[in-house]
Amino acid sequence: MRAQRFGVGRFGGFALVLIAIAATLMGPVASGRASEGPAHYLFEVCDPSLPGGNTPGVFFEGDTRYAIPNNTCSQQVSGSLGISAPGGLSKDTGSENRWTVPVSAPSGGTVESLTISAATCGASGVSNQNYVFQPGWPGNCVGEVQRTFHLPSGTSRADVPIALECHSVCQSSVSIYARYIVAKEVDPIAPQVQDVHGPLLGGGVARGHQVLEANASDQGGGISGLKVLVNGQSAGAPSSPACGTGQVINPSIVGIVATSPSPCPTTFTGKWTLDTASPPFRQGVNTIQVCASDFATLSAPNTGCSAQQPVYVDNSCTESPVAGGNSLTASFAGSNKGEITVPFNHSAKVRGSLTNASGDAISGATVCVQAQTLGVKLPLVPVTTTTTDARGHFTYKVPAGPGRRIGLGYRRDSFQIDQQLRFRARARPTIRLSTDQIAAGGRVKISGRVPGPNAGGCGLIFEAAALHSNEWFEFERATTNRRGVYHLSYVFDATTKNTVYKIRAVTQQQGGYPWQSGHSVPAIVRVYVGG
């Protein structure tokens, strides 16, 4: 009896001989370990813990008297691919008796190594029964041996034969079996993410919960997962397809194995509903990116990401616990208009209402109030909230101060309605004279301050009138320093008789200054002639 070689079939037309190495794949599989280079994972054939023993494409050929004709990898105790020859069986007349185990690489990848657990019995030391499983493989029922073989670089397919022949009478029973055939797969190609879309990227302002979708493809081990990065941090749960994997414990490997060379889908669509009001989202501009990972168990996976896309988020309007709001109106009390101008240090009242799509009142709803000082290049910022009454009405008192843009809004998750009003107020600069009486031809110093913000560089006109007259005339101009303070002096050289003047500072309307034109409380000065 003669045994045939155990080796690897042809790869690209070249016959290859495996070389045994000392390293094995035995031991726990580390998932997510940092690594450089391609993704690595294990594909296993013939293990009873996998569905059907996992024997894709395995077949037997030769004299069925020698074979264990059924694929028995699924049996929990003795699952294997075996061949046996009982004693006294005459010389075979057919071809080599073998199981063939096809092992291939993922698309675009390679097979780096094979690990096999096998045993022989009755082959050694028997006359005319020269049985060899693999040169150097122990025989004579010494037990199951597990060995690892590295394959030449670029190997994309291995047809592993498990072969036995008798060329004379089998004088004693001989057998061979193999199982736990593990291929170390190499996938060098990163997945690609295409067509990232959804309401989150629909343009405009994003609020509340938003939907995002993305399609990904991979030609190697397949897509194992998609995740969303917001401002470089993971947002929402990763989206993962079902992959063909199993958990095994055997002499060749302990850990997760693939049940096919490409265990995960080559295309996959992920969908997320993301809360833009929660981290890692932030108010203002955010970056959105979707990344896809392929399958890996012995290294970090290959990862491909979409280009970053900007999204502007605004959840500054406090969300209402009451749903149903559809229409919001607001105006200043007394005028029923959206704009008002008040004297310095005066407030104003806003009245409004909230209704549903049918025009019915929405009571108990939260209405957010936001404000922005006119002329200040900042967005509206929250200042308070108010609540609608049983008739759906609400009020808000705009406190005294500079001109402001007032925003009233109702938000329910991603839905928001709002209305903006303009509150304008007149400035009142201060004025102080260095004296309250002065001789004609004398000089008086005038100083004061204008209200802020943006009070620097503000232009003022100075007017004077006789004490009991309302006819004002301009006599000087000045500009405030960066602190909003002004200084000037004036010579009363045109007064010819004793006169009491009232003098006031008048601010000018100008861009960036959030106050309407206004004047100070008049200051009094007596100009006398002679003694």
pTM of the model: 0.77
Output the pLDDT for position 70: 56
Residue length of the chain: 531
Output the pLDDT for position 205: 95
Output the pLDDT for position 387: 98
Question: In 3-state terms, what secondary structure has residue 447?
Answer: strand
Distance from CA of residue 204 to its chain's centroid?
19
Residue among 350, 354, 379 at smallest CA distance from 364: 354
d(CA 198, CA 207): 14
- H or E stretch including 373? strand 366-373
Output the pLDDT for position 138: 58
Side-chain-side CA neighbours of 154 within 13 Å: the count stands at 6
Residue labelled with tokens 């929250």 = 382
Angle (CA) 438-442-445 rounded to 5° is: 80
Output the pLDDT for position 20: 26
Domains 327-425 and 432-528 share a fold: yes
Output the pLDDT for position 269: 98
Q: Which CATH number fits domain 327-425: 2.60.40.10, 2.60.40.1930, 3.10.450.50, 3.65.10.10?
A: 2.60.40.1930
Output the pLDDT for position 257: 97
In 105-173, which ranges are E strands? 110-121, 145-150, 157-164
Long-range contact list for 11-18, CB < 8 A, 24+ apart? 11/151, 11/152, 11/154, 11/155, 11/156, 11/157, 11/158, 12/154, 12/156, 16/151, 16/152, 16/155, 18/114, 18/134, 18/149, 18/150, 18/151
d(CA 163, CA 63): 11
Pair of tokens at residue 67: 């074979």
d(CA 385, CA 407): 11
Residue 53, phi then psi, degrees to nearest 5: 80, -10
**Contact (CB, 8 A) for 495 and 527:** yes
- H or E stretch including 351? strand 348-355
Output the pLDDT for position 67: 56
Residue among 318, 264, 279, 287 at smallest CA distance from 212: 287
**Contact (CB, 8 A) for 503 and 519:** no
Domain 192-243+260-313, classified CATH 3.40.50.800, yes or no = no
Output the pLDDT for position 29: 30
Question: In 3-state terms, what secondary structure has residue 296?
Answer: coil
Distance from CA of residue 404 to its chain's centroid?
36
Strands, sheet with 432-433, edge to edge from the N-terminal-most edge strand: 432-433, 443-449, 485-491
Output the pLDDT for position 175: 76
Report the relative pairing of strands 205-206 and 309-313 from DSSP bridges.
Answer: parallel
Domain 8-187, classified CATH 1.10.1330, yes or no = no
d(CA 73, CA 162): 14
Output the pLDDT for position 83: 79
Which DSSP letter does residue 28 get?
A: B
d(CA 116, CA 148): 6
Output the pLDDT for position 64: 67
Q: Where are the domains of the chain?
A: 8-187, 192-243+260-313, 327-425, 432-528
d(CA 51, CA 67): 23
Output the pLDDT for position 139: 58
Output the pLDDT for position 31: 31
**Given CA atoms 306, 312, 318, 321 in this order, what sign does their dihedral have?**
negative
Residue 227: CB atoms within 10 A of its CB come to 21
Output the pLDDT for position 177: 81
Provide the residue-wise pLDDT of the chain in tens; the chain has 531 residues. 333 333 332 222 222 222 222 222 333 332 333 334 699 999 999 999 999 999 999 988 877 666 565 567 998 877 888 877 766 555 555 456 778 889 999 999 999 999 988 877 665 433 333 332 355 555 556 677 788 889 999 999 988 777 766 655 555 667 778 899 999 999 999 999 999 999 999 989 999 999 999 999 999 999 999 999 999 999 999 999 999 999 999 988 899 999 999 999 999 999 999 999 999 999 999 999 999 999 999 999 999 999 999 999 999 999 999 999 999 999 999 999 999 999 999 999 999 999 999 999 999 999 999 999 998 888 899 999 999 999 999 999 999 999 999 999 999 999 999 999 999 999 999 999 999 999 999 999 999 999 999 999 999 999 999 999 999 999 999 999 999 999 999 999 989 999 999 999 999 988 899 999 999 999 999 999 976
Output the pLDDT for position 126: 36
Residue labelled with tokens 């009233």 = 408
Assign a CATH topology to domain 432-528.
Immunoglobulin-like (2.60.40)
**Contact (CB, 8 A) for 352 and 393:** yes
Residue 51, phi then psi, degrees to nearest 5: -55, 125
Output the pLDDT for position 292: 97
Output the pLDDT for position 211: 97
